[in-house]
Amino acid sequence: MPLETIIAGVMVASLVLYALLGGADYGGGVWDLFAFGRRAREQRELIAHAIGPVWEANHVWLILVLVILFTAFPPAFAVIATALHIPITLLLIGIVLRGTAFTFRTYDVQRDEVQRRWSLVFSIASIITPILLGIILGAIASGNIRVDNGVVTSGFVRPWLAPFPLAVGFFALALFAFIAAVYLTVEAEQGNLQEDFRLRALLSGVAVGFLALIVFVLAGTGAPTVRAGISRTPWALALHILTAIFAIGAFYTLWTRRYRAARVFAAGQATLILLGWAFAQFPYLVEPDISITSAAAPQITLRLLFGALIAGAVLLFPSYYYLFRIFKTE
Amino acid sequence: MDDLLAARSQMAMSLAFHIVFAAIGIAMPLLMIIAEWKWLRSKDEIYLTLAQRWAKGTAILFAVGAVSGTVLSFELGLLWPRFMGYAGSIIGMPFSLEGFAFFTEAIFLGIYLYGWKRVPPRAHLFAGAMVAISGALSGIFVVIANAWMNAPTGFRLVNGQPVDIDPIAAMLNPAALPQTIHMTLAAYAATGFVVAGIHAFMLRRDPNNRFHKAALAIALLVGGVSAILQPLSGDFLAKTVAVTQPVKLAAFEGHFETEQGASFRIGGLPDEDARVTRYSIEIPYALSILAYGDPNAVVKGLNDFPADQHPPVAIVHIAFQIMVACGVAMMLMALWGAWRFLRGHRNRNWLNSKWFLRALIAAAPLGFIGIETGWIVTEVGRQPWIIYGVMRTSEAVTPMPGLIVPFITFTLLYIFLALVTVWLLLRQVAASPSEPEPPAKEARLAA
């Protein structure tokens, strides 16, 4: 397998980890907004407790995706940053507001009304940011970003302000909210709180299924190549079956209150969905004009980057494991 | 405002904002682990309280730094896509390494901030040390990428396209070492002086407060040592600039005419139309000595370079003067502190001087003024190039129209964040202890 393909694979893996870890932090913000009932305060506290120590580390997966993209595939980065200038700028505003509002709230707990205001900023930014992330990925997959001789010819609005990318945006939001709710069932220590998040997980799980269907239908005209990739090839069928098994597994284990198993199924389901998209888009980085091969940096850059990724992983994963062992085991 | 100017303004504003938090993120962990180490050694609770207080402030600043750094890494592509498309394969490497350093920093910061009661004291101190090391490395990797823009190496140009790319040679560009030393020292000096100034202010109000004395001593140690070393690193960097970017050196000095035995100017206002710098104090031969270590060396003037390769001379010259003045003042302040400490060590009252504390309060912002003006010197001084001698800034800008909109949006957002951050920190300073608080309560709050 050529090195550029392996590095593109590492980039997809980082994106998957960002969705599974960083995505859940956004999902936590969603449930912060929708905290209601007698235990609203406990729900918010659990969310803050779950996100607090890890969100900054989880956020770095996105940075990793970005640096791999611009080191290994500079023309692809240039094209994406040009064509999607507007949604990326909005995404950044969301990232800034989410992170700072959460931190301000954590370290300024004197007065309830101020805290509520930061909560609102934090939770609304947590909803908008995943939608924008989905819109960006949807636009990249749509085939509507066109490039001629390195110049973006499809304008700055049309490729992303369309039904398919918007549907992917809401799908991403539902997916993040779903995995967050499932994780929170495990992190909740008392039964009532677990029930709260079980209900949220089941509801958002239904939303994920429903939005997946809408995305699939809209892909017919909105992203025909990717749609063809996920509906016709033999591996796609296998992947669909596997995703369905994980989705059913997640529902079944949530229903029967086996939360640790549900966490595995939900994370597996999210992973398979992203892998399905990645395989369907292969070998293109930006459908249909920029491929992994055409955008790849010279071999020496790829080799050095690959070495850095391996060395970085050797340092990173034990540290990451240590962080999660400290805060995610009771 | 045309789109190029809007893009440059947005980049300048984003960098000017982020560098404050980045510098604090590099230096504060060092201050915190010194305090924590002193606590572990002496069991004096005052040092634990101090480490925890500083950690709370740092948590806010680190979060703002992390998100504003994210904005910058995207802005490289949003504003300068042609630069990234061209240079990504050459200088992506330090950014990738920075990614891992940032990862390590974020992981261990989480452990440090939230783990007071969850990990043993030594593991906690280790986490703090990891934050301090990886924070410094993050900064170094990013500055290496910036140094490459000033002194691009590691490729050959054939028909305007880079070939024979060597990312290692690009990282080892001649500006990398002097720039990274200069910026790392600047981060420690600036942060040390701000923290020292804040605690000096509190000591003026409450002269016998042990907490603030302990804090001031640590901050001044880190800031002072760096401030004394900084002029040496500045000299090293200036000598590098003289070789790699002679036109930038000429702009530093508002130096128009090529001269043998050139004078060093203090103050003065460059007139770019008349091509003279007026109203300055001139020290004969000093520029030749500073730039080349030889009083009779020839220093090229701006007139020897085509006008379309001149940076905006007045801005660069004035910013350079301010930076140097801040650095010199901080070095003198640090020497005064060192003298007081060595002399007062026998009677343990080296901080009991009204004028010394007042001077520390006055010197508090100098480091950050120096950092901001220093980045103006290096970035504006590189214009009109984005990659010196290779690609012009105007060639790199995005074709996206209406760039004034994101510029204004981010400016307003950052002003808002700056105000909130200052307000939150002021409340924390105001709530500082008059005597050591029980650490258990603090730890619970932090957890």
Instruction: Please report the sign of the dihedral spanned by the C-alpha atoms of residue A225, residue A231, residue A235, residue A240.
Output: positive
The answer on pLDDT for B432 being more than 70 is: no
Mean pLDDT for B278-293 is 90
Q: Which residues of B touch A78 (CB under 8 A)?
A: 77, 81-82, 84-85, 88
SS (H, E, C) chain B: CCHHHHHHHHHHHHHHHHHHHHHHHHHHHHHHHHHHHHHHHHCCHHHHHHHHHHHHHHHHHHHHHHHHHHHHHHHHHHHCHHHHHHHHHHHHHHHHHHHHHHHHHHHHHHHHHHCCCCCCHHHHHHHHHHHHHHHHHHHHHHHHHHHHHHCCCCCEEECCEEECCCHHHHHCCCCHHHHHHHHHHHHHHHHHHHHHHHHHHHHHHCCCCHHHHHHHHHHHHHHHHHHHHHHHHHHHHHHHHHHHCHHHHHHHHCCCCCEECCCEEEEEEEECCCCEEEEEEEECCHHHHHHHCCCCCEECCHHHCCHHHCCCHHHHHHHHHHHHHHHHHHHHHHHHHHHHHHHHCCCCCCCCCHHHHHHHHHHCCHHHHHHHHHHHHHHHCCCCEEECCCEEHHHHCCCCCCCHHHHHHHHHHHHHHHHHHHHHHHHHHHCCCCCCCCHHHHHHHHC
Residue B353 binned pLDDT confidence (cut-offs 50, 70, 90): confident
Q: Which residues of B touch A320 (CB under 8 A)?
A: 107
User: Mean pLDDT for chain B?
Assistant: 91
Exposure of A209 by Cβ count < 10 A (0-12 exposed, 13-18 middle, 19+ buried)? middle
Contact with chain A for residue B102, Cβ under 8 A: yes
Q: Which residues of B touch A89 (CB under 8 A)?
A: 78, 406, 409
Nearest to B327 by CA among B226, B216, B250, B239: B226
Q: Which of B73, B89, B98, B426 to mutate to test the interface with A (most CBs of A within 10 A)?
A: B89
CA-based nearest distance B436→chain A, Å: 20
Residue B436 binned pLDDT confidence (cut-offs 50, 70, 90): very low
The answer to whether the Cβ–Cβ distance between B399 and A151 falls below 8 Å is yes
Mean pLDDT for B28-45 is 94
Residue B434 binned pLDDT confidence (cut-offs 50, 70, 90): low
- Strands, E assignment, A73-218: 147-148, 151-152
Contact with chain A for residue B106, Cβ under 8 A: yes
Q: Where are the domains of chain B?
A: 3-446
- Tell me: the pLDDT tens digits for B50-91? 999 999 888 889 999 999 999 999 999 999 999 999 999 999
- Tell me: the pLDDT tens digits for B142-188? 999 999 999 999 999 888 888 999 999 999 999 999 999 999 999 99
Is-contact B58 B28, C-beta < 8 A?
yes
pLDDT of residue A330: 60
Scan residues 115-134 of B and list those with Cβ closer than 8 Å to A. 115, 118-119, 130
Domains in chain A, please, with CATH? 3-328 (1.20.1630.10)
Task: Check if the interface score ipTM surpasses 0.85.
Answer: yes
The answer to whether the Cβ–Cβ distance between A60 and B102 falls below 8 Å is yes
Contact with chain A for residue B425, Cβ under 8 A: no
pLDDT of residue A328: 80
Q: Could you state, in chain order, the average pLDDT of each consecutive group of 10 residues for chain A (330 residues)? A: 93 94 93 88 88 89 93 93 94 94 80 80 95 95 88 89 95 96 89 91 94 92 84 81 94 93 93 90 87 90 94 91 84
The answer to whether the Cβ–Cβ distance between B399 and A82 falls below 8 Å is yes
CA-based nearest distance A64→chain B, Å: 6
- Tell me: the pLDDT tens digits for B95-111? 999 999 998 999 999 99
The answer to whether the Cβ–Cβ distance between A99 and B90 falls below 8 Å is no
pLDDT of residue B447: 38
CA atoms within 13 A on the CB side of B264: 16
CA-based nearest distance A222→chain B, Å: 24
Residues A10, A64: Cα–Cα separation, whole Å? 10
The answer to whether the Cβ–Cβ distance between B73 and A82 falls below 8 Å is no
pLDDT of residue A36: 85
pLDDT of residue B443: 43
The answer to whether the Cβ–Cβ distance between B115 and A108 falls below 8 Å is no
